[in-house]
Chains A and B, each alone.
Chain A
Amino acid sequence: MSAQTDTPPPQLPAPPVDDAHDSVPRIVPVRRTGRWAAAVAVLVLLAGALVSVIRNDAFQWGVVGDHLTTASVLRGLGLTLWLTGLVMVLGFALGTLLAVMRLSGNPILQAVAWGYVWLFRSTPILVQLLFWFNIGALYPQILGVDTVNLLGPVAVAVIGLTLHEAAYAAEVVRGGILSVEHGQLEAAQSLGLGPWRRLRRIVLPQAMRSIVPPAGNMLIGTLKGTSIVSIIAVQDLLYSVQLVYHRTYEVIPLLLVATLWYVAVTSLLSVGQHYVERHYARGTADAR
């Protein structure tokens, strides 16, 4: 039990360090046999799955490669990307407005904001989309224009997804604002800063620390969630590959094309989120 470099004795618990040697005793970590066994088992299973995927010709990786960057797939990817971006921006703009209404001193504004969130969180997005798609049945004409002409599938997709997104964004932003210490607001008030300046310069930047992680979640969720617009024939990424496999019956490889793109974009967004979080952590202990 001295500080010599002999092999770690796998024996029974050692008796209390013998004080005969006055050198400091060496610490021997416990052996984690179970951990090693579990790791090996998982690796074997994973390798098996991988081999089966590579050797199963039904995946048709060749077809996947052929379609990965065709013009129509890329067009679909483009639509998915800008639809996601637009819905996030509009959704968070409306959501921030709703959050501020909810936290205002005006009971009517509070109630309206609460009611909005309640309504749009209480119905499935699929139902909301179909509803907006058929809005012409309720209002055949808006401002003298036929609703059907005014609201094409893409406009319906933007409106439907945005209104749904805003309900969730409102709660995320509200949570962020509430996470800012009350003393910050009092300090800003006692310095004579106006309400708009307080919100924009003091409260929201600090709220961003709690807003960004769930907002990142929502962004990734929205990116994938936009695939729901394929049911109203908007040519997003999913619908574009569907158009191909309805013609060629190569269902699996084309779904893989869409999957690979979704994974790629989501991975990029996760990396981006890391940097955004770091930006808003400035001035705190977690800042690097």
Chain B
Amino acid sequence: MSTPIDVPAPTEAPVDAPAATEATAPADAPASATDVMVEIRSVHKSFGALEVLRGIDLSVRAGEVTVVLGPSGSGKSTLLRTINHLEKVDQGWISVDGTLVGYRRSGNKLYELREREVLRQRTRIGFVFQNFNLFPHLTVLENIIEAPVAALGRPRKEAVAAAEALLARVGLADKSGAYPKQLSGGQQQRVAIARALALEPKLLLFDEPTSALDPELVGEVLDVIKDLAHQGTTMIVVTHEIGFAREVADTVVFMDQGRIVEQGPPADVLDRPVQERTRAFLSKVL
């Protein structure tokens, strides 16, 4: 449970695209050498009397795309938010890239980290929100360079160059001077993805990235996410887009009432679900 001394097996030379190798292959477990990027162990979380996570265990391998499905209130967004410590867990632990999130372990105790340390951890975990949460008073470019400059201390010039490259990558090279409100929802979400990528995170978390979009704008955002998936970015995506899950996911996780009901390759979970609850859900959304 320490620094990444483990062999950085699937990492490629380009800094912003870690683990570009086995992810594109069909998700038959590619032997034992695969790094675990995210490990979630017996995580519980309550809001008052309501227990929203009731013992979650999940492993996500580096370079893989995990899609979390489930009815609203199933705890999938909360689970995602615990992974970058936006929500604190009540029990259990989560590690990302071999480091505990939000805590330091000493003996059999988990000590909560100071905010500064948590903030440093978060710079390695990108988070994309349902409502984009772009900073409306800053231009697109300023939105993207804010964190690299302020949190990582990058020189501004360097951050601007990187931001422009990212904008080109999400197809918005000409929008760097625009304010978020001048963009469509789909464009805003693509900027939000670029903003998350600007920190060169090891892991990207998407919380229903297309749920706030007009139907005709969903495709352009999913295309960007697919593109990232093909480049081997490790991602956990909470979504209602079954088609996207089928096409992109290495693993589909179905949650209900704070538990993981079923998980596996999309061909299994989506087409031959074992659990009655999964079948009932899919019959309603498909």
Taking Cβ atoms with an 8 Å cutoff, the residues of A that contact B are 181, 183-184, 186-195, 197, 201-202, 205-206, 280, 282-285, 287
Given the interface pairs A190-B86, A191-B122, A206-B137, the reply to whether A282 lies near B179 with Cβ below 8 Å is yes
User: Mind listing 24 A-B residue pairs with CB under 8 Å?
Assistant: A183-B129, A184-B135, A186-B129, A187-B129, A189-B119, A190-B84, A190-B86, A190-B127, A191-B122, A191-B195, A192-B119, A192-B122, A192-B151, A192-B152, A192-B199, A193-B147, A193-B150, A201-B146, A282-B137, A283-B137, A283-B138, A283-B139, A283-B180, A284-B179
Taking Cβ atoms with an 8 Å cutoff, the residues of B that contact A are 84, 86, 115-116, 119-120, 122-123, 125-127, 129, 131, 133-139, 146-147, 150-152, 179-181, 195-196, 199
- In the complex, what distance in Å separates the CA atom of A220 from the CA atom of B16? 53
Contact yes or no, B179 A283, CB < 8 A: yes
Which chain A residues border B116 with CB–CB below 8 Å? 194
Which chain B residues border A187 with CB–CB below 8 Å? 127, 129, 133-135
Interface centre among B115, B151, B199 (most CB of A within 10 A): B151
Closest CB of chain B to A288's CB: distance in Å? Answer: 13
Closest CB of chain A to B226's CB: distance in Å? Answer: 23
- In the complex, what distance in Å separates the CA atom of A191 from the CA atom of B145? 11
Contact yes or no, A193 B127, CB < 8 A: no
Q: Which 8 A-B pairs have the closest CB atoms?
A: A283-B179, A187-B133, A192-B151, A192-B123, A191-B147, A190-B127, A183-B133, A192-B119
Which chain A residues border B127 with CB–CB below 8 Å? 187, 190
Contact yes or no, A192 B181, CB < 8 A: no
Which chain B residues border A205 with CB–CB below 8 Å? 137
Closest CB of chain B to A152's CB: distance in Å? Answer: 43
- In the complex, what distance in Å separates the CA atom of A197 from the CA atom of B138? 14
Contact yes or no, B133 A193, CB < 8 A: no
17 further A-B contacts with Cβ under 8 Å, apart from A190-B126, A191-B151, A280-B137, are A181-B133, A183-B131, A183-B133, A184-B133, A187-B129, A190-B84, A190-B86, A190-B127, A192-B119, A192-B120, A192-B123, A193-B150, A194-B116, A206-B135, A282-B179, A283-B179, A285-B181
Contact yes or no, B123 A191, CB < 8 A: yes
Contact yes or no, B151 A193, CB < 8 A: yes
Which chain A residues border B123 with CB–CB below 8 Å? 191-192
Which chain A residues border B179 with CB–CB below 8 Å? 282-284, 287
Contact yes or no, A283 B181, CB < 8 A: yes
Contact yes or no, B129 A189, CB < 8 A: no
Which chain B residues border A190 with CB–CB below 8 Å? 84, 86, 122, 125-127
- In the complex, what distance in Å separates the CA atom of A109 from the CA atom of B146? 30
A283: nearest chain-B partner, CB-CB? B179
Which chain B residues border A285 with CB–CB below 8 Å? 181
Contact yes or no, B119 A193, CB < 8 A: yes
Closest CB of chain B to A103's CB: distance in Å? Answer: 16
- In the complex, what distance in Å separates the CA atom of A284 from the CA atom of B180? 9
Closest CB of chain B to A67's CB: distance in Å? Answer: 47
Which chain A residues border B199 with CB–CB below 8 Å? 191-192
Given the interface pairs A191-B199, A192-B151, A283-B179, the reply to whether A186 lies near B133 with Cβ below 8 Å is yes
Contact yes or no, A193 B136, CB < 8 A: no
Given the interface pairs A187-B129, A193-B147, A283-B180, the reply to whether A202 lies near B119 with Cβ below 8 Å is no
- In the complex, what distance in Å separates the CA atom of A197 from the CA atom of B133? 17
Say which residue of B129, B139, B150 sits within 8 Å of A201 (CB atoms): B150
- In the complex, what distance in Å separates the CA atom of A281 from the CA atom of B51? 41
Say which residue of B84, B125, B136, B196 sits within 8 Å of A284 (CB atoms): B136
A282: nearest chain-B partner, CB-CB? B137
Which chain B residues border A189 with CB–CB below 8 Å? 86, 119, 122
